[in-house]
Structure 1
Amino acid sequence: MLIVAALGALLHAVPAIPPAFAADDPALGKLKGMWSGTFEQYSHDTEGSFPVKLTIDAISGTEFSGTMDWPSFDNTRTRVKGMVDGPLIKWTETAYLRGENAVLHGLYVARFKADNEIAGDWMDPKHTINSKGPRFGTPGGDFVLTRD
């Protein structure tokens, strides 16, 4: 019993580490809007540089939703669901809204590089994706997006 009380006192004495984004953090609001850039793919027998547009239109707590547009892939549009996890911005394409020339269920893992720029890796869904692991799956591409 004494050990439990000491542990409880110790936990209350350690200051909490603030997350990079809290639900009411104005930085989270910086995500909302349109982001355009280039996706460099090197998987699924496709290598090249492709234009992409990410639109984040709804934020709730640390989760967000929106769309991705792929003009080079027969103007395909996908539904996006994501979350902010500390300094990481993660999302996946969950469904086709128009066309079907994008790979669904890959994991995008990005960070803010500046107020108007995010960059990161796309983890290929043909491999096991462990969102808690150190590499979050196997990289199949990378991207840089800037706010429109």
Structure 2
Amino acid sequence: MSNFFNNLPPQFKIFLPFVILGLLTTGLFSLVNPNHSENGQVNQAKPEKAAEQEKTTDEITVRINIRNENKKEEPLSDVKVNLIYLGEPISTDTDSEGYADIKIPKTNTVRVYLSKPGFKSKNYQIDPNINLPKDRNIFYYLKPEESNLRYNNTQSPQKISQATVQKWKGEKWEGIYNQYDTNENYPMVLHIEQVNNSLFTGKLHWPTFNNTFTEVSGEFVTEFGDDMEESKWEFLKDFKNNRNGTWLKFTETKILLGGNLDRGRLIILNGLYYAHIVTGEDRSMSGVFFVKKKDSEPMGKFSLK
């Protein structure tokens, strides 16, 4: 190495220390500045990436308050609260007082999805720059499903024993059928002739309707059925308050004798009769009649003894 230095021309010997010093300075600068690239330019973070990072980390706390839409003061517990915005979705539940504290970005719009069994799901949008109250308390309301609006009594019909249904075998019920559209009354006689478990057959007699007899098929009800069925039972005055007694429904399947008086007064087959028997000193049967299953309003009502 010493021979190499001695053999250099005098002018190179003079500048060599400055060259070495320059190389050392450049290497040291590269170590101190890690963002310095190989081509001498300084690496900078992309502005949009930095902004996104700020949005997802700069958060505020908001209190969600969930209430029953039909009873404004009733808090709803165990409501599933799902939040969708930049980043992973967040899920939490409301507490026993209907509250849920959530953290949302200061500058991003957040979509809130609310769900609870027995209530209609809803979604809302929170924009911190537009619709966020100063106290950061937000009230939302969920509406009960239709089946929960009708009544709070979920009691099923009393279980019917064979002894109970058999006692109606051979029974005759007489009374009046009132048709709503004309307000006409027709004498009506129901004969329950045969009973097999919860099913029965018999006849309906219309004395002033061309002395008509129709064949009847029905059942003693042990379950009130789906929402459509329950909406029909509700027209019976005892359905919401007292479900004791015997419930039955039946239909006329064919004309056995007589028939229609004229085009304005027709025997309607396959209509639906919904009835309730109350026993005691004065037993009675009351009910309503629907022309079709899909009908929402009855065509008439009847009362028999």
- The reply to whether TM is greater than 0.5 is yes
Aligned to 1:139, the other structure's residue is in SS state coil
Confirm or deny that 1:91 pairs with 2:250.
yes
1:1-148 superposed matches below 5 A? 20-24=158-162, 26-32=163-169, 33-43=171-181, 46-86=182-222, 87-101=246-260, 102-115=267-280, 116-125=283-292, 129=293, 137-146=296-305
TM-score (norm 2): 0.36
- Rounded to whole Å, the distance in 2 between the matches of 1:48 and 1:105 is 21
Cα deviation code 1:44-96 (max 9, x no counterpart): xx431110100001000000000000011100100000001134200000000
- Rounded to whole Å, the distance in 2 between the matches of 1:72 and 1:140 is 19
* Conservation of the 8 A alpha-carbon contact between 2:157 and 2:247: no
| Structure ranking higher on relative contact order (CA contacts 8 Å, 6+ apart) | 1
**Cα-Cα RMSD:** 2.1
| Greater C-alpha Rg | 2
Structure 1 alignment gaps of length 5 or more: 1-16, 131-135
Aligned-residue offset at 1:114: 2.7
Aligned to 2:164, the other structure's residue is in SS state helix
Aligned-residue offset at 1:23: 4.8
* Conservation of the 8 A alpha-carbon contact between 2:213 and 2:257: yes
- Rounded to whole Å, the distance in 2 between the matches of 1:35 and 1:22 is 20
* Conservation of the 8 A alpha-carbon contact between 1:36 and 1:51: yes
* Conservation of the 8 A alpha-carbon contact between 1:21 and 1:28: no
Aligned to 1:74, the other structure's residue is in SS state coil
Aligned-residue offset at 1:113: 2.5
Cα deviation code 1:106-126 (max 9, x no counterpart): 10000112342111111123x
Classify 1:137/1:114 alpha carbon distance in 2 versus 1 (closer, same or farther; 3 Å): farther
Classify 1:124/1:18 alpha carbon distance in 2 versus 1 (closer, same or farther; 3 Å): closer
- Rounded to whole Å, the distance in 2 between the matches of 1:79 and 1:109 is 16
Classify 1:61/1:112 alpha carbon distance in 2 versus 1 (closer, same or farther; 3 Å): same
Aligned length: 119
- Rounded to whole Å, the distance in 1 between the matches of 2:259 and 2:203 is 14
**Percent identity between the two aligned chains:** 32
Structure 2 alignment gaps of length 5 or more: 1-154, 223-245, 261-266
Normalized per residue, the structure richer in helix is 2
